[in-house]
Amino acid sequence: MRLFAAIELNDRLRTAAAAAQGQLKAHGVTGRFPPPGNLHLTLCFFGEGEKDGLLCALMGESYTSARLTVEGCGCFMGGSLLHLKIKTDPGLMEIQRRVQDAALKLGYRLDGRPYVPHITLCRKMQAPVGVDLFACCKGAMGVSMDVERISLMESKLNQNGAVYHRVGTIAVK
């Protein structure tokens, strides 16, 4: 099963991100927009794995509090992946490091790229010339939430994209 660790968004942050998606669409931006229920912040993508062992390893770590705050928008992958930038929070970075360390101890091979906290708004994005992406996402700026739990998620691919299911949670203290 394809697994990843994530922070699921609270209603306020999910609504703000979905509103940004709506603004983008209204301004002619096209691409693959994840449905609001799929919006999340990925901590670590593990790939194929066994959920029980990974969940036990993640539960064996202790996690301190963190806060997610939207501070901008940006693009990855040559401009084709649009995301909300999340302010670097020491607690969030520590949570991500501990999740990654737990996976490495189990022998997972991770991509090795530096971690950049973000919420994906659109994949394979194409924007008309002159569209101000930042203005479309402005309503989400400054929206924040406290991290209360980490979710171990399963990703299943189908013809419409990925469908995510929570397979376990770990409390953040």
pLDDT in tens, 4-14: 999 999 999 99
> Would you say 9 and 38 are in contact if contact means Cβ atoms under 8 Å apart?
no
Query: Which domains are present in the chain?
Result: 2-171 (3.90.1140.10)
Q: What is the pLDDT of residues 64-113, one digit of tens each?
A: 999 999 999 999 978 899 999 999 999 999 999 999 999 999 999 998 88
Show Cβ contacts of residue 158 under 8 Å, excluding neighbours closer than 6 positions.
none
- The answer on pLDDT for 28 being more than 90 is yes
Give pTM, 2 decimals.
Answer: 0.93
CA of 9: how far to CAs of 17, 68, 108, in Å? 9, 9, 26
